[in-house]
A and B are shown apart, each in its own frame.
Chain A
Amino acid sequence: MTPPKISDALIILPGRYRTLWEIPVVMLILTLIAAFTANAYWISTLTSALAIALAARGIGVLYGLLGLVSLCQFALIGVGGWTMLRLGHGTGLPFELNVLLAGVVAAAVGVVWGAPALKLKGLYLALVTLMLAGAYQVVISATGFPDGGQGWLGRADAIQRLMLERPVVAQNSTRYLIYCAAWATLGFMAAEWLRLAKPGRAWAMIRKDDRAAMSAGVNLLVYKIIAFAFAGFLAGVGGALLAGSVGQLDGRAFAASESLSLFALSVVAGVYNWYGALIAGLLLRAVPSLLTDFEINGYAAIVFYGTALLHAIITAPRGIAGQISGLITRIKALLGRKTPPRQATRQEDS
């Protein structure tokens, strides 16, 4: 055992923000591969997957970092999509500004919907948020998404329905895929920065224990609101990008069951690593497309999701991304790249 000792040496940790810079590199490589190899059908599928991956990253923040189960994140994609279509058809604002505004509106709704989390946890929070997703399904089925019409709801008749214009820099599908990848990269980087910085440490403390967090000076209310706002923002941006991809949105695509599937697949893919969100988006969109390629009904994907969730809960609680991360760690250990912290004098540090 080491007796107490006083030292002025500062501790230096290697590679603290390394993962932050891995994200754009990995995303660039994957996007270029997709852009140069995928056909039109798969370009469209991967674009949707990227949009949904942003919402999945929000689930990663809420569940992976804070331990809160929110089952209304797909509905927040819908909120972002609605806002994007309404602003896109009703104002002359630039596409990018509309995407940000869609994120802000979804963040505000996310905070309101997340309000029960200030008192509830676990099953009860899950049930309340699922009911909110159900309520959204009812409302959006009745009102539909804006499609260039007049009035607050922006609904047109069947003949005059308009498609949302894509941004000038991304008019064709391949460019729009790259455009969405850029947004997703920024979203993933923002989430990773939050994880590595002060909010991430506060969220980890809250997940460990409310009282321990308060004993560390963490304001539970503030940090839960930040988490719900950020998760809502990511979902809203995802919804806006989805609206831009398809041009119109269908209320039937935003059933409460989609929020359940998104949460389940986020767990399967892994909520503790940024690329888990990417895998979740791919699972939700690519698996049905793959089944269709093999002339199997896309709804059979639900059976796959259930089986994968069961598998993840029993054998891989950190998900597919966690298994990939473990593999990378083992390879690095084999290559002898694990770097211990080093000591530095104050002079060296300055």
Chain B
Amino acid sequence: MIRIENLTVQFGAVKPLDDLNVELDAKICGLIGPNGAGKTTLLNVLSGFITPKAGRVDVDGTDLLSLSPVRRVDLGLRRSFQTEQVVEDLSVYDNVLALLDHLGVARAEARRQVSKALHFVGLDREAHRMGAELNLYQRRMLEIARGLVGAPRLLLFDEPGAGMTESEGETLRETLLAIPDEFGPQILLIDHDVELILATCSKTLVLDFGQFLTYGPTADVLAEDIVKRAYLGVDV
């Protein structure tokens, strides 16, 4: 569970996050809001790339903000980015193995975990191919596989479905839904695809201009007038 208390991020006069308070208890939690709402800023705070002006973030009782970005990986935090970050001149296998290198996992166990993750996302047959040879869908799935090794506790996915076709998006949904049961982590998912959020996230947090708008069961949240006005641009 992610507990966020009085979290404020300030750049000069701008506050991308302003006194945010919320407890994210869903196993797969959506994070939505219009552009500039502070979604990616929140992920950057959780990853350790932005130091907040004030506030506290606990993940399963651990004070996240006291840890360096690298130590957060040891804790089990995994992250994907809006722009995919597959390394072109590493093989698919090595792209995943690169994460386990720094977690002190024995070689045989590392191989078992990489194999399991690549099977899970359907890239086991591509393990020998270089990152540069993959299409966008495969790159996105490879980023997910990278998040599944090394006993993950919290996965932060920033628009994993961007650029996918309908059938690819369907597979992504099935994959995301299967992750908690098979690998155990909590997922915080940003995506502009409301259908993906509705299909995968039991609860959703909505931000608007860096402020908390609402949090609750996804279907209820999407039905709220305040969300339709702020996010969907619907006059109510």
Interface presence of A216 (CB below 8 A): yes
Q: How many residues of A contact B (CB 8 A)?
A: 34
Interface presence of A215 (CB below 8 A): yes
Interface presence of A7 (CB below 8 A): yes
Q: Interface code A87-116, partner B: CB below 8 Å = 1, 0 otherwise?
A: 000000000000000000000000000000
In the complex, the chain A residue whose C-beta lies closest to that of B102 is A217
Q: Which residues of B contact A315 (CB under 8 A)?
A: none
Of the stretches B5-13, B165-173, B207-215, B227-235, the one at the interface is B165-173
Q: Interface code A253-282, partner B: CB below 8 Å = 1, 0 otherwise?
A: 000000000000000000010000000000
Q: Interface code A188-212, partner B: CB below 8 Å = 1, 0 otherwise?
A: 0000000000100110110111011
Q: Interface code A4-34, partner B: CB below 8 Å = 1, 0 otherwise?
A: 1111111101100000000000000000000
Q: When the two chains form their complex, are residues B170 and A201 in contact, meaning their CB atoms are under 8 A apart?
A: no
- Contact status of A209 and B70, CB under 8 A, knowing A10-B111, A10-B115: no
Specify which of B69, B119, B168 is in contact with A215 (CB 8 Å cutoff): B69
Q: When the two chains form their complex, are residues A6 and B116 in contact, meaning their CB atoms are under 8 A apart?
A: yes
Interface presence of B182 (CB below 8 A): yes
Smallest beta-carbon distance A328→chain B, Å: 15
Q: When the two chains form their complex, are residues A201 and B101 in contact, meaning their CB atoms are under 8 A apart?
A: yes
Q: When the two chains form their complex, are residues A341 and B103 in contact, meaning their CB atoms are under 8 A apart?
A: no
- Contact status of A204 and B87, CB under 8 A, knowing A6-B116, A11-B118: yes
The CA-CA distance from A14 to B91 in the complex, in Å, is 12
- Contact status of A4 and B99, CB under 8 A, knowing A208-B85, A215-B69, A341-B125: no
Q: When the two chains form their complex, are residues A205 and B98 in contact, meaning their CB atoms are under 8 A apart?
A: yes
Q: When the two chains form their complex, are residues A1 and B119 in contact, meaning their CB atoms are under 8 A apart?
A: no
Report which residue of A1, A207, A341 has the largest number of chain B beta carbons within 10 angstroms of its beta carbon. A1
Smallest beta-carbon distance A57→chain B, Å: 17
Q: When the two chains form their complex, are residues A4 and B120 in contact, meaning their CB atoms are under 8 A apart?
A: yes
Smallest beta-carbon distance B92→chain A, Å: 9
Smallest beta-carbon distance A287→chain B, Å: 29
Smallest beta-carbon distance B4→chain A, Å: 20
The CA-CA distance from A244 to B85 in the complex, in Å, is 46
Interface presence of A307 (CB below 8 A): no
Q: When the two chains form their complex, are residues B70 and A214 in contact, meaning their CB atoms are under 8 A apart?
A: yes
Interface presence of B47 (CB below 8 A): yes
Interface presence of B57 (CB below 8 A): no
Q: Which residues of A contact B73 (CB under 8 A)?
A: 214-217
Q: When the two chains form their complex, are residues A11 and B122 in contact, meaning their CB atoms are under 8 A apart?
A: no
Of the stretches B74-82, B188-196, B198-206, the one at the interface is B74-82
In the complex, the chain A residue whose C-beta lies closest to that of B167 is A1
Q: Which residues of A contact B47 (CB under 8 A)?
A: 211, 214-215
Q: Which residues of B contact A1 (CB under 8 A)?
A: 122, 137, 167-168, 170-171
Q: Which residues of B contact A3 (CB under 8 A)?
A: 122, 171, 174-175
Q: When the two chains form their complex, are residues B119 and A7 in contact, meaning their CB atoms are under 8 A apart?
A: yes
Interface presence of B222 (CB below 8 A): no
Interface presence of B39 (CB below 8 A): no
In the complex, the chain A residue whose C-beta lies closest to that of B68 is A214
Q: Which residues of A contact B94 (CB under 8 A)?
A: 201, 204
Smallest beta-carbon distance A118→chain B, Å: 15
Interface presence of B90 (CB below 8 A): yes
Interface presence of A2 (CB below 8 A): yes
In the complex, the chain A residue whose C-beta lies closest to that of B114 is A11
Q: Which residues of B contact A209 (CB under 8 A)?
A: 81, 85
Q: When the two chains form their complex, are residues A204 and B98 in contact, meaning their CB atoms are under 8 A apart?
A: yes
- Contact status of A343 and B98, CB under 8 A, knowing A6-B119, A217-B103: no
Chain A positions 327-348 with a Cβ under 8 Å from a chain B Cβ: 340-341, 343, 346
21 A-B residue pairs with Cβ-Cβ distance under 8 Å, sorted by A, are A1-B167, A1-B168, A4-B120, A4-B121, A4-B122, A7-B116, A7-B119, A11-B93, A204-B94, A204-B98, A207-B87, A209-B85, A214-B70, A214-B73, A215-B81, A216-B73, A217-B70, A217-B73, A217-B74, A218-B102, A343-B124
Pick the 6 closest A-B CB pairs, nearest first.
A2-B122, A217-B102, A217-B73, A1-B171, A212-B85, A201-B98
New A-B contacts (13) at CB < 8 Å, excluding given A4-B182, A216-B99: A1-B122, A3-B175, A4-B122, A5-B122, A9-B115, A11-B124, A13-B127, A201-B90, A204-B94, A208-B85, A216-B98, A216-B102, A217-B70
